[in-house]
Amino acid sequence: MTFKARLLLSYLILIALPLLVLSTIFYRTSLNVVTEQAQKNVYAVVQKNNDVINTKLGIADQNSRSLFVDKDLFQIFNNLNPEAAEELVAADRKVTAILSKYFSQSENVYAAQLWTSYYSFGLLAMPQGDPAQSQIYKAAVQAAGKMVWYPTYDFIKMFDQPWLEDGTFDYRYLFTATRLLNFSHLEDSSLVKLKPNVERPVLTISYKSTVLDELFEKSIPTGSTYMVLDPDDIVVASSDKSQVTGTYKQDWVGAFRAQGSGTTRLKLNGANQIVVFDRSAVTGWLSIVITPESALVGSLVPVIRTSTLVIALVLGGVALLFAYFILGHVTVPIKKLISAMRSVGEGDFQKQVEVDSNDEFGLLSQRFNRMNDRIQLLVKENYEIKLKEKEAEIHALNMQMNPHFLYNTLNIMNWTAIENNQKELSKMLVCLSGMLHYTSRKDWGAVSLSEELEWMRNYFYIMSARFEGKFSVTYEIEPSLYEGKLPRLLFQPFVENAILHGFSGLEEGGLIVIRGWTEDESRYFQIRDNGRGISKDGIDTILYKESASVGIKNTISRIQLAYGEAYGVQIQSALGEGTSVTVQLPCRT
């Protein structure tokens, strides 16, 4: 039998015969199966939600343990003078940076702080007054280093801020993980602890109560209710927001707490309910979801009754048509692919398979086309690599001239200029020697901004002497940028373009301003001149035309190769007003 005939026969057997048998028992068993499966699904949802909660909140628990042995925090608090305001401010900045390293990556953490009786360290956007007087702080101190999960509380009442009663703010209801930190670290194989007189800070990690609400509201069935209770039956989260921070006392909750995790059916408020519960291994909180049975199966009863009849009638007729459709959808792409593979096997790497679907066969055809393109590209790259290797060999032979010969020659010329009292020429030779030494170093890795600007000053001196004071240069650079690394000769193509083209036609008064600043995790360097400017077409030519400035395009390529496509160069200009070139680099390299 052909593949087409075998596939058709298999459809008839696999669909028609089982359908006749199963349709007789479908209705009697479906109702019970749906109810049990729904109960299992809701239970799985609650367990999954608890797993998500354990994962999210467990990260805070793990990170808080890491703080015990954080050497930087140990040194900050071990050496801190609580009476010195300037030390507290400096320590606050350092502590904030450390806490951000541990907790800022978690979108669920609202605030992470270290509390002491004399100061609250960390980003503080909440009017907490003296947090050391709160029940949260006292519970952490009493736990003596164990993690305490403090259930949802009213911020106004916890921190005694009645003036916020009429306000609207997103931290009204929070729950908090807190732990007393007794820092220590290993030093020369010895465990060093905080001085006895140093107050141990309390770590507080605050979460908005909506973290739990969003998790349950998106996952539980329609018509269900939920609540999360701490070991003292305090409501941490609930579908009934009026219950949050209150106490929920029911006899059956105690039985669930002893069992830990499970599912049962209860009659609550006169209706049959499916109740599932699971206790968090991290917080010890009990998650409970209550779902009415009618909400799960009430709408399915007529569907089950009708579908039993309809399926038996429809699927028998559809099976035959569907089989023919599948046959055409399977065999035609296979034939196309086999034909293309035969052509590739004969060396035609430009052969492409027409893709007319988005299913597995369409994906297979797309992969085949990409593989073919990749093979063709690899062949081309291999050819180009061979050519570049030959060019590199020739370039290496041409560069065998010892650069020390040039330095020695320039040194002799410099001493001759000094002997003849030609100070200007001597300084130009010294500048040129420094420029040659900078550009001829074997190591072409990144350099500091200080080195790059030193080279630029030598360059400006020589160009200023050449153009007899036609222009001047000023620098406006943030001090923090001077030790940062950047590609060598980053500014040269742009300042050269400003001097040779921007100031053409000027006799005097040219000004070049080199600025540097940081913003949004990026470093920005700007070369601005007051020359004749560049038209929009001229800018497009410089940036995008292959025949344009080789130096500028090379600089742009080096930036994007080193840091990625997100970084590069922007040029803004107005005719008669000047040109501004802005180079964007990342702060972290």
pLDDT, tens digit, 9 for 90 and up, residues 96-121: 898 888 887 777 888 888 999 898 89
Fold of 68-208: Beta-Lactamase (3.30.450)
Is 68-208's fold the same as 443-586's? no
CA distances from 301 to 39, 146, 294, 429 (A): 17, 52, 10, 96
Helix and strand numbers, DSSP H then E, in the chain: 17, 19
| Rounded distance between C-alpha atoms, residue 256 and residue 268, angstroms | 15
Strand partners, 273: 266, 292
- In this structure, what token pair is assigned to residue 361? 């066969």
CATH number for region 443-586: 3.30.565.10
Query: What is the mean pLDDT of each successive set of 10 residues along the chain, which is 589 residues long?
Result: 69 73 70 76 86 85 86 89 89 89 81 89 78 90 90 88 82 89 81 87 89 84 87 89 87 84 84 87 89 72 71 71 71 75 74 75 79 78 66 46 53 68 71 67 72 85 80 91 87 86 84 92 93 88 72 84 88 90 88
Give residue limits of the domains in the chain.
68-208, 443-586
292-301 contacts at long range (C-beta below 8 A, 24 or more positions apart): 292/223, 292/224, 293/35, 293/265, 295/221, 295/222, 295/223, 295/224, 296/34, 296/35, 296/38, 296/221, 297/31, 297/34, 297/35, 297/38, 300/30, 300/31, 300/34, 301/31
- In this structure, what token pair is assigned to residue 385? 């690599």
DSSP letter at 221 equals P
Beta strands in 355-470 (DSSP E): 447-448
Q: What pLDDT was estimated at residue 223?
A: 81
Q: What pLDDT was estimated at residue 53?
A: 85
CA dihedral 128, 134, 140, 144 (to 10 degrees): 120
Q: What pLDDT was estimated at residue 579?
A: 93
Structural contact between residues 236 and 230, judged by C-beta atoms closer than 8 angstroms: yes
Amino acid of residue 462: I
Q: What pLDDT was estimated at residue 527?
A: 93
| Rounded distance between C-alpha atoms, residue 184 and residue 75, angstroms | 9
* Whole-structure pTM value: 0.47
Region of 414 (left: φ > 0; alpha: ψ -120 to 50; beta: rest) is alpha
Q: What pLDDT was estimated at residue 397?
A: 42
